[in-house]
Chain A
Amino acid sequence: MSIAAYPDTWRRPPFIASATWRWAIYLGALAYLVVAAGAVDINWARLAEGVARAGRLFVGFLSPNFTARWSDIALGMEESLTMTVTSTVVGILVSLPVGVGAARNLAPLPVYLVCRAIVALSRSFQEVIVAILFVAMVGFGPLAGFLTLSFATVGFMAKLLAEDIEDIDPAQAEAIRSTGASWLQLVNYAVLPQVMPRLIGLCLYRVDINFRESAVVGIVGAGGIGATLNTALDRYEYDSAAAILIIIIVIVMAAEYASSFVRKGIG
């Protein structure tokens, strides 16, 4: 065959084979974007005003003021940190039975359904919404934040734990079961050793998340550094707000570094 006989164009086969569907999806996506972008009403006058505020915010960040509101900041940090510790511990303790119950290969159906419902409920709502409800029940303060973060931790940990348990090697469970072990012995000898390493990693990760969330539940009155930040911004004290944000970033970075350190030590 001479070279001229070969085709001189080539197109990559499209990702979506049917041309109708392809164009429908492209046009649909484009139309959605246009409509959605149309929902953004920009108030140019307010925006112009905002430029000045952005400038002051920026200046505030260049010269953070840790001292002016130090007692407020210290109280907020104290609440955030204690909230993180207590809610992580309680949340993980509660998530263990719920997680085992939400694993289809270990739990009977009624228990499974109840535990899955708890997980789904906890995961569907953003922490702040849960915090609003707890504040309404137990009043303002870090206790509401603690309850919120514990509840969120249960949903997070139980779901991942249940998935891990469902993924365990059935051969090992079979082997233990064939020795005539009881259900608790089965969990202890066949399930725990398989899920433990990842579980520890997840716990550390959750500490990290709980601290970050503890910084926002304060916005709705559930204690923590978020309340201090909200107040600082309301009073236009951008230098104090900057100080708070810097403290949050530093603590999150330190937590991340520490947890990677611990994980290496375990792994």
Chain B
Amino acid sequence: MLRIEGLVKRYRTGDIALDGVDLVVPAGEVVGLIGPSGAGKSTLIRCVNRLVEPTAGTIHLGELDVTALSRRDLRRARRRMGMIFQEFALVERLTVMENVLSGRLGYVAFWRSFLRRFSAADVRGAFATLDRVGLLDHVDKRADALSGGQRQRVGIARALLQGPDLLLIDEPTASLDPKTSRQIMRLITELCAERQLAAVVNIHDVALAQLFLKRIVGLRAGVLVYDGPSEGLTPEVLTRIYGEEDWTRTHGDADADDDAARATGPRPELIRAV
């Protein structure tokens, strides 16, 4: 579904964020993208829907060359790519329903969206999606009245309502507590399986990634250094991705405290467990 070839991004400051990345993601597969801060994970995801303009390389969504599109065609292409954000990026002062319906903006004429008169199919779809993510009781609440987990569910519903072929997911759990993080990851993987969506999940919590995702891609300094099953993340591989660290030392129970995992890096017993 998604085919990235030789993707390069050089910022105006001269920093090279991506240095020749190749990645293929078939429909129905969820890929976890891991790597240290500043490795270019965020840039890679944003290059796919061109929130960040790539410097070189091509990106194909199905048969469509995203990098060659005009502004208008790019907007059409963006409808097929749902995006989910770290800090949720909901429009705080709009209601939950408006936030979810904003997923249809690419399909709707301006005056309809301005008057909030979406088609019956769109509204029904929005209700169904909100029901699926478990928020049917919060339709008329303002987004800033929700908890973190609920907000991320709204973010997911917004992306789903676009009717996407591909989900671009940027650190979906970084602002959530460990339990909610797992619920959100479970929801995302279930939804992708239900709807045969391809997805790239940018995630810094290696343990969580291994728990839910089968395929992991490791990015370091703008270069792919690992692409394989999550079982293959041996201490050597992790060193290749993150640099030198004692990856074999264990302490505590991973289930009890995912926060510790963030601070100290992934733990081998989990790596083997999945």
Interface residues in chain A, defined as those with a beta carbon under 8 Å from any beta carbon in chain B? 1, 3-4, 6-13
For the complex, is B126 an interface residue (Cβ under 8 Å from A)?
yes
A4 to B95, Cβ gap below 8 A? Answer: no
Query: Min CB distance, A110 to chain B, in Å?
Result: 45
Identify which of A1, A8, A11, A12 contacts B120 (C-beta below 8 A): A8
List the A side residues contacting B125 at CB < 8 Å: 3
26 A-B Cβ contacts within 8 A? A1-B128, A1-B131, A3-B124, A3-B128, A6-B123, A6-B128, A7-B124, A7-B127, A8-B120, A8-B121, A8-B123, A8-B124, A9-B120, A9-B123, A10-B97, A10-B116, A10-B118, A10-B123, A10-B127, A10-B139, A12-B95, A12-B97, A12-B98, A12-B140, A13-B95, A13-B140
B124 to A4, Cβ gap below 8 A? Answer: yes
A6 to B116, Cβ gap below 8 A? Answer: no
List the A side residues contacting B123 at CB < 8 Å: 6-10
Interface residues in chain B, defined as those with a beta carbon under 8 Å from any beta carbon in chain A? 95, 97-98, 101, 116, 118, 120-121, 123-128, 131, 139-140
B95 to A6, Cβ gap below 8 A? Answer: no
Identify which of B98, B101, B118, B124 contacts A6 (C-beta below 8 A): B124
**B interface, by DSSP: helix, strand, loop or mixed?**
helix
A6 to B140, Cβ gap below 8 A? Answer: no
**Which residue, B125, B127, B131, has most C-beta atoms of chain A within 10 A?**
B127
A10 to B128, Cβ gap below 8 A? Answer: no
Distance of A8 Cα from B126 Cα, bound (Å): 9
List the A side residues contacting B101 at CB < 8 Å: 10
Distance of A84 Cα from B124 Cα, bound (Å): 65
Distance of A3 Cα from B98 Cα, bound (Å): 19
Q: What residue in chain B is nearest A13 (Cβ atoms)?
A: B140
Q: What residue in chain B is nearest A4 (Cβ atoms)?
A: B124
Q: What residue in chain B is nearest A11 (Cβ atoms)?
A: B116
Query: Min CB distance, B90 to chain A, in Å?
Result: 15
List the A side residues contacting B128 at CB < 8 Å: 1, 3, 6
